[in-house]
Amino acid sequence: MTTVVPTSEEDPVLPVVRFTAELSWADAGPEVAEPQVTRLCMEAQECMVRGRWLDLASLMLTSAEIVFSKVSDKDLECIFTVICNLVSKLENPNEELEVAKLISTKITQQPTDKPAMRLKILFNLYNLLEGPDSRFFVYMQALNLALNGTVTDHIVPSFKKIDSFLKEWNIGVKDQRNLFLAIANVLKENKSSGKDSFKFLTKYLATFSDEDSYVMSEAKDEAVRAIIEFVKAPDTFQCDLLDMPAVGQLEKDAKYALVYQLLKIFLTQRLDAYLEFQAANSTLLKSYGLVHEDCITKMRLMSLVDLGCSESGQIPYALIKDTLRINDEEVELWVVKAITAKLIECKMDQMNQAVIVSRCTERLFGQQQWHSLRSKLATWRGNVASLISTIQANKVVEEGSQGMAIR
């Protein structure tokens, strides 16, 4: 089959159009295929001459799914490199965005067919783009593709650069909201880091503030999810969920009020409150996949931290035993667990049967904690000033004594 169309060695667009057109019409026979291939090549050439890059991209993508199923990964990458490179010919950001949308939407239509290769093509497209709007759109498409195609490992490393991406994209609150939730979902599917998933979920919830009740209500399910993830996480003992309006709306919600109460117990109360709650709501806890024994373990550690923050730096063994509902011989074991988890820094005074706490981690850090910190800093500042004054006074006395000796 021969198709005579003027081309140049510098521009691979027309050879790619011819190659994909021949693939598309291969089963129709030469008599039918050759005129169609010629037509498509002529249309492509006309688009190039007139600078109709959006139309050219649309034409080249017409056979995209056939290309995915019939060529090797190497050829596939080459073909889409040529197609994606069309965006570099555009100077108008709006036109670039339209072409980026067209290409990325086509690539993500079949996310389970060669998902890793599709994701690689999206990354190549992203790197060719100049406009922040175009880059953000393609990145969101890549997130959804990674999730739907179960190739999340390929995109997780990029999350380390999210802060710099946000500065570059300069996106609004709604787009940030969608971004944080998508990342949280990817990390949840990836199961690489529960902490990171929870972090981005809380970032999502933090975008809701001073919203009307209708907008806020869309965050209810994710607020519940964040609470459950926090309670389940064996190594997360601090969060700001109680300060977030998106979470606060659950307090009086008919369906989720008990979930909010559970969060409040974990962040502001001790083991006895949890045990009382569990006795009355065991079915609810099971419905969210919460394991009673794991909850007790976490609440014991958090109760111990609470004792350290509220007992003036010294906790009697007997109080730990009663609060954590454990035996005498288990007291030091739980203190060691808290130290290992970096929840407290302390020394165990076995002779006086007390734990001397030098530092403990606050379960939440709200207004009360800020006021406490301010008070401590003011006291520290006063102590330092007093120490400096004493040193200076002693220095004056010493200098005076030396002067008298010289005379």
Half-sphere exposure of 158 (CA within 13 A, CB side): 19
Which range among 73-87, 219-233, 246-260, 360-374 shows the weakest confidence by mean pLDDT?
360-374
Q: Which of 1-5, 117-121, 194-198 has the highest mean pLDDT?
A: 117-121
pLDDT above 70 covers a percentage of the chain that reads: 89
- The model carries a pTM of 0.82
Which whole number is the average pLDDT over 110-123?
93
Q: Given pLDDT bands bounded at 50, 70 and 90, which one contains residue 401? A: low
CA distances from 392 to 4, 27, 210, 382, 397 (A): 95, 96, 53, 15, 9
Across residues 173-181, what is the average pLDDT? 95
Average pLDDT on 191-197 reads 79
pLDDT value at residue 312: 74
> Rounded mean pLDDT of 112-141?
95
Q: Please, which contacts does 268-275 make with residues 24 or more away whose CB atoms are closer than 8 Å?
A: 268/242, 268/363, 268/364, 270/299, 270/302, 270/303, 270/306, 270/323, 271/296, 271/299, 271/300, 271/303, 271/323, 271/324, 271/325, 272/323, 272/325, 274/299, 275/325
Mean pLDDT of the chain: 88
pLDDT band, residue 68 (cuts 50/70/90):
confident
48-61 pLDDT per residue, tens:
989 899 999 999 99
pLDDT at 101 over 60: yes
- 182-186, 337-341, 377-381: least confidently modelled range: 377-381
pLDDT for the residue 371: 57
> Is there a contact between 264 and 230 (Cβ–Cβ < 8 Å)?
no
Q: Which amino acid is at 270?
A: R
d(CA 372, CA 268) in angstroms, rounded, equals 16
The string of pLDDT tens digits covering residues 229-270 is 999 999 999 999 999 999 999 999 999 999 999 999 999 999
User: pLDDT value at position 263?
Assistant: 97
pLDDT at 339: 95
